[in-house]
Amino acid sequence: MPEIRTADKLNKKYLREGMWPTIFCNGCGHGVVLDYTFWALEELGWDMDKVAFASGIGCSSRLPGYINADGLHTTHGRAIAFATGIKAANPDLHVVVFTGDGDCSGIGGNHFIHAARRNIDITVIMINNFIYGMTGGQLAPTAPLGSIATTAPYGNIEHPFDICELAKALGANYVARWTVTHPYQPMKSVKEAMQKKGFSLIEFLAPCPTAYGRRNKLGDIKKHWKWYDDNTILIEEYEKIMKFGSEDEKEKIRNKMQIGVFQDIQKPGFFEQYEKLVDRLQEKRYIGGKK
């Protein structure tokens, strides 16, 4: 009979001593993502000595500091490039990257594109709260049209960035987007993403009541969390209604954000191909081929 895993036992195994309570505001979605990661790690049963975390700058990038494993807290936007290096030096490590919406799609967009294109064997967990939270509430590339931020006081006139579409187009092995408010599907998804070989991306839509919710008049913490339930829809339901639904049903769901697993394919990863290349060169050497 396996041991029942409860939150306090998880705390003792995975949290770094002396670092809690967290710096996050009350009602923030980041702590919940940490929660889901712990449950996924527990299910997978990985040895915590062989897991490395990397992160950039921002609220989401403080997460590796709370986990009792090797962590690398790097400069703004470059976490994915650092993670490529860690994986290249020691391919036995499992590398997980925590990054934010500005960190990944703003300054770090180039590194994200090329890591996805090369299919590097890392898992990227991008926590999207539509704003730059840690520095006070500036505009982020993923902010919806018309939202208010300190550097867009009259409303945002730019179109938002859909990073899951980009990852799909680049051929990443696993692409999914979930909200933080319902626990079971994200936990299973995080576990699948970590197990999968090749580049996996999970985008979490997390609430930020202090910076985003307050400026955009989304109400207090409970109403803000409800806003996520009302404005998102599962991809299967969306497709079903678009195919078979009536006109006003289609109208109602047209502007909702889609969540779910968008892509789940299996392509060979970069380091697998590189090992095959090295083996091929070693064979040539023994057959007596010219150097």
Partner 1 sequence: MKYKRDPKLIREVLGKKVQFILGDMACVYGGILAGCSFFGGYPITPASEVAEGMARRLPRVKGTYIQMEDEIGSIAAVIGASWGGAKSMTATSGPGFSLMMENYGFAVMTETPCVIVNIQRTGPSTGQPTLGAQGDMMQAKWGTHGDFEAIALAPSTVQECMDFTIEAFNLAEKYRNPVCVMADGEIGHLRERVVIPDEKDLKLVDRVLATIDKEKYIPFTNSQTRKSKVPDFPTFGTGYHTYVTGLTHNEKGFPATDKQPDHEKLVKRITSKITDDLDELTNVEKLYLEDAETVFVTYGASARPAESAMEMARSKGKKVGMLRLKIVWPFPFKEIQKIAKKVNKIIVPEMNLGQIVHSVREYVDGQCKIVSAPKIGGEMHLPMELYKYLEEE
Partner 2 sequence: MKWRYQEHLIYYEHGEVMIEIKDDWCKGCGICIERCPVDALEESDKLNKKGIRPPRLKEENECNYCRLCELICPDLAITVIPDKEVKKDMKKILLSPAGGKNK
Using CB under 8 A, which of 5, 13, 20, 88 touches partner 1?
Answer: 88
Q: Which of 70, 192, 237, 272 binds partner 1 (CB under 8 A)?
A: 70
Does 82 sit near partner 1 (CB under 8 A)?
yes
236 binds, among partner 2, partner 1, none (CB under 5 to 8 A by kind): partner 2
Q: Does 92 bind partner 1 (CB under 8 A)?
A: yes
Residues 16-55 that bind partner 2 (CB under 8 A): 20-22, 24-32, 34-35, 39, 43
Contact 182, 29 (CB under 8 A): no
**Relative orientation angle of helices 30-44 and 184-195, to the nearest 10 degrees:** 60
Least separation in angstroms between residue 161's CB and partner 2 is 26
Please report whether residue 58 would count as binding partner 1 according to CB under 8 A: no
User: How many residues in total does the chain contain?
Assistant: 291
Degrees to nearest 5, angle at CA 31 with 23 and 48:
100
- Binding to partner 1 by residue 281, rule CB under 8 A? yes
Chosen from partner 2, partner 1, none, partner binding at 162 (C-beta under 5 to 8 Å by type)? none
> 259 to each of 112, 133, 179, 218, 219, how far by Cα in Å?
21, 23, 7, 21, 23
> Binding of partner 2 at residue 6 (CB under 8 A)?
yes
Torsion of CA 89, 269, 196, 122, to 10 degrees: 40
Pick from 234, 163, 246: nearest CA to 202? 163
HSE (side-chain half, CA atoms, 13 Å) at 195? 13
Angle formed at CA 197 by CA 73 and CA 114, multiple of 5 degrees: 60
Q: How far is it, in rounded angstroms, from Cα 161 to Cα 171?
A: 18
Using the minimum distance from each CB to partner 1, give the nearer residue, 112 or 174: 112
Q: Which residues bind to partner 2, rule: CB under 8 A?
A: 1-2, 4-8, 10-11, 15, 20-22, 24-32, 34-35, 39, 43, 181-185, 187-188, 221-222, 225, 234, 236, 261
Q: Which residues bind to partner 1, rule: CB under 8 A?
A: 16, 18-19, 48-50, 52, 54, 64-65, 68-75, 78, 81-93, 110-111, 113-114, 274-275, 277-278, 281-282, 285, 291
